[in-house]
Amino acid sequence: MPEIKVTPLGAGQDVGRSCILVSIAGKNVMLDCGMHMGYNDDRRFPDFSYITQNGRLTDFLDCVIISFVSNGEKKVLLFCGVLSLPYFSEMVGYDGPIYMTHPTKAICPILLEDYRKITVDKKGETNFFTSQMIKDCMKKVVAVHLHQTVQVDEELEIKAYYAGHVLGAAMFQIKVGCESVVYTGDYNMTPDRHLGAAWIDKCRPDLLITESTYATTIRDSKRCRERDFLKKVHETVERGGKVLIPVFALGRAQELCILLETFWERMNLKAPIYFSTGLTEKANHYYKLFITWTNQKIRKTFVQRNMFEFKHIKAFDRAFADNPGPMVVFATPGMLHAGQSLQIFRKWAGNEKNMVIMPGYCVQGTVGHKILSGQRKLEMEGRQILEVKMQVEYMSFSAHADAKGIMQLIRQAEPRNVLLVHGEAKKMEFLKQKIEQEFHVNCYMPANGETTTIFTNPSIPVDISLGLLKRETAIGLLPDAKKPKLMHGTLIMKDNSFRLVSPEQALKELGLAEHQLRFTCRVHIQDPRKEHETVLRVYNHLKGVLKDYSVQHLPDGSITVESILIQATAHSEDQGTKVLLVSWTYQDEELGSYLTSLLKKGLPQSSS
């Protein structure tokens, strides 16, 4: 029985280090290539030795698909599906194609380089990939468009669907013959200010591999949060205060920028908004380029003005922080643990008119976490005590599908099986139960290294010759999708292909002579009359019964019903018994056997 095998190397009942191995109809595909942030040795990479034990990677894998590139937020960095890629392709050694979307391909090297700098230059680690490796790795990348079907080889094809979440995130359909797998990567079913919602058609895959980060959460509408955020900022600015928004370079930062930019435009506000330079500037550049990947509003208004060409948001300079008057500043990093955001925070913390808005999660131990949990006196380096008088606000903007969103996607795609990855086991359990209950499909949640096998029941396409099809449809009624239809033909299995042709053609092709197969049967009838009279009686009887068939009485004393021949002879011993010889070809088996059984019942007592 054909089967699909899925083995998560990372992200199985686990968050981060996304890396899933899929074997479908003899093809091996690796989905994502993430990294675990908890380790500093080789354990942070997925366990590629699982694959390499059987030989070289390139021989084993047909392709690698990267679903998206990370947001740059630390917590979300864990989910990033790309960080191990240079390690994988250059250090472990993989020369096959790597597929990702255009925006992902554009942003990927910047992110990798940034990450490499942090790890190698700052932390001083060795045994890490180099800049050259990143470049070499990127050469193997093939970029795909949305809804473009890419033929990896003759049988394997992949197709990308829009996934929301971050710029360039995509869901991938992997298809071999009529077996298919959809891998969602991270996705978002509710649109936000800069990206749309994930969408997939009713592709009915055999297996849907979905993330389940928020398997047990149903979120409130975004509007309230946005409104609160804007109101806070607006009020502070009106009071003459300064607003600090610590963000990471990609993703949510752009969302908040768009939000503020449109609000400033709408409300005709004049206070300056600044954006700390660096990675963010480059990122904004890509958002500007990939307008087709953004949401409806930005796409529609782009003709007048590209929304990412900010009118109110300018690049930040260190000196601006001391300027008087209200301002809003986006600064990196997002958890106030170092860098520019911390510097500005220290400058502004003393004034109760000012405000800091934390738009995301903060790791324990960071300044961000401390102030969020209500600490008002912070001990900085050098035993300084910083008193925090400014207001501290928390706004969560997350871009993963919640439980409802996951269910909605399953409803849209109508898969035959579902496999959950990228989530905590306990939460997955709940979602699994719900999926099985509501969609009546099997749901799996393998752990890392555990292989799930799914048996598929693929339909096998057979070519039918047009002549045969026309002949057969001409006989019956219109084809009905709901009812199976019986047809006669010869199935030829040759050269890995299936063809259904008419018997004559099959014979011709195979160079065989046609053999006739006839069944003959004798039926004894008690009839004292002469032979030709018996024949006449049989003829009349059959004519009466078989109204729809052509019954003929031939001059040589035989009867034909369609192609069936009936002859009558007197019994050699008993003249009162007549022997009816019924002969038919095997094609007419149905009619022939019916006829014999009819004749065996005897002739009706005729009045004459």
| Coil, helix or strand at residue 273 | strand
| Coil, helix or strand at residue 175 | strand
What x/- string results for residues 519 through 558 when contact with another protein is judged by CB under 8 A? ----------------------------------------
Q: Which is nearer to another protein, 24 or 182 (CB)?
A: 182
Relative to beta strand 518-526, strand 417-421 is unpaired
Q: Which of 267, 425, 447, 510 binds another protein (CB under 8 A)?
A: 267
Dump the DSSP string for 228-256.
Answer: HHHHHHHHHHHHT-EEEEE--SSSHHHHH
The verdict on 160 binding another protein (CB under 8 A) reads no
Name the segment binding another protein (CB under 8 A); options: 23-31, 111-119, 453-461, 476-484.
476-484
Q: What amino acid is encoded at 52 in this protein? A: T
Q: Which of 2, 96, 177, 191 binds another protein (CB under 8 A)?
A: 191
Question: Which contiguous run of DSSP H or E holds residue 346?
Answer: helix 339-348
Quote the least distance from Cβ 133 to another protein, whole Å.
Answer: 39
Joined tokens for residue 117:
């700098």
Q: Which of 47, 114, 265, 562 binds another protein (CB under 8 A)?
A: 265
Angle in degrees, 0-180, between the axes of helices 531-545 and 589-600, rounded to the nearest 10: 120
Query: Which has the closest alpha carbon to 130: 190, 90, 72, 70?
Result: 90
Query: Which has the closest alpha carbon to 260: 285, 282, 231?
Result: 231
Query: Which has the closest alpha carbon to 174: 99, 104, 101?
Result: 99
- Using CB under 8 A as the binding rule, the residues of this chain from 430 to 469 that contact another protein are 430, 433-434, 438
Beta carbons of 570 and 585 less than 8 angstroms apart: no
The verdict on 423 binding another protein (CB under 8 A) reads no
Q: Which of 240, 449, 479, 604 binds another protein (CB under 8 A)?
A: 479
Name the segment binding another protein (CB under 8 A); options: 95-103, 227-235, 338-346, 583-591.
227-235
| Coil, helix or strand at residue 44 | helix
Structure letter (DSSP) for residue 389: -
User: Count of CB atoms within 10 A of residue 204's CB?
Assistant: 12
Beta carbons of 4 and 22 less than 8 angstroms apart: yes
Name the segment binding another protein (CB under 8 A); options: 45-53, 101-109, 194-202, 345-353.
194-202
Name the segment binding another protein (CB under 8 A); options: 115-123, 195-203, 280-288, 573-581.
195-203
- How far apart, in Å, are the Cα atoms of 30 and each of 245, 344, 472, 489? 38, 43, 45, 42
What x/- string results for residues 269 through 308 when contact with another protein is judged by CB under 8 A? --------------------------xxx-----------
| Coil, helix or strand at residue 24 | strand
The verdict on 373 binding another protein (CB under 8 A) reads yes
Q: Please state, in angstroms and rounded to a whole number, the distance separating the CA atoms of residues 24 and 274.
A: 50
Q: Which of 140, 347, 353, 404 binds another protein (CB under 8 A)?
A: 404
Q: Which is nearer to another protein, 297 or 541 (CB)?
A: 297
Q: Which is nearer to another protein, 324 or 374 (CB)?
A: 374
Is 211 annotated in the active site? yes
Beta carbons of 352 and 268 less than 8 angstroms apart: no
Q: Which of 119, 136, 157, 225 binds another protein (CB under 8 A)?
A: 225
| Coil, helix or strand at residue 272 | coil
Report, in angstroms and rounded to the nearest whole number, the Rg of the chain calculated over CA atoms.
37
Question: Which contiguous run of DSSP H or E holds residue 103?
Answer: helix 102-116
Q: Which of 60, 131, 142, 222 binds another protein (CB under 8 A)?
A: 222
- Using CB under 8 A as the binding rule, the residues of this chain from 55 to 84 that contact another protein are none
Q: Among all chains, which residue has been given the structure tokens 């509408």?
A: 221
Beta carbons of 196 and 295 less than 8 angstroms apart: yes
The verdict on 372 binding another protein (CB under 8 A) reads yes
Name the segment binding another protein (CB under 8 A); options: 50-58, 148-156, 330-338, 473-481.
473-481
- Using CB under 8 A as the binding rule, the residues of this chain from 90 to 149 that contact another protein are none
Q: How far apart are the first and last CA of the chain?
A: 66
Q: Please state, in angstroms and rounded to a whole number, the distance separating the CA atoms of residues 252 and 591.
A: 75
Name the segment binding another protein (CB under 8 A); options: 134-142, 174-182, 187-195, 538-546.
187-195
Name the segment binding another protein (CB under 8 A); options: 66-74, 260-268, 553-561, 575-583.
260-268
Q: Which is nearer to another protein, 460 or 474 (CB)?
A: 474
Q: Which of 26, 130, 145, 218 binds another protein (CB under 8 A)?
A: 218
Q: Among all chains, which residue has been given the structure tokens 């709940």?
A: 430
Question: Residues in contact with another protein, total (CB under 8 A)?
Answer: 59
Catalytic residue among 73, 90, 179, 211: 211
Q: Which is nearer to another protein, 403 or 564 (CB)?
A: 403
Joined tokens for residue 59:
């021989």
Quote the least distance from Cβ 591 to another protein, whole Å.
Answer: 26
- Name 150's bridge partners: 158
The verdict on 425 binding another protein (CB under 8 A) reads no
The verdict on 407 binding another protein (CB under 8 A) reads yes
Please identify every residue annotated as catalytic: 211
Which positions lie near another protein, rule CB under 8 A? 190-191, 193, 196-197, 199-202, 216-228, 230-232, 234, 262, 265-268, 295-297, 372-374, 391-395, 403-404, 407-408, 411-412, 427, 430, 433-434, 438, 473, 478-482
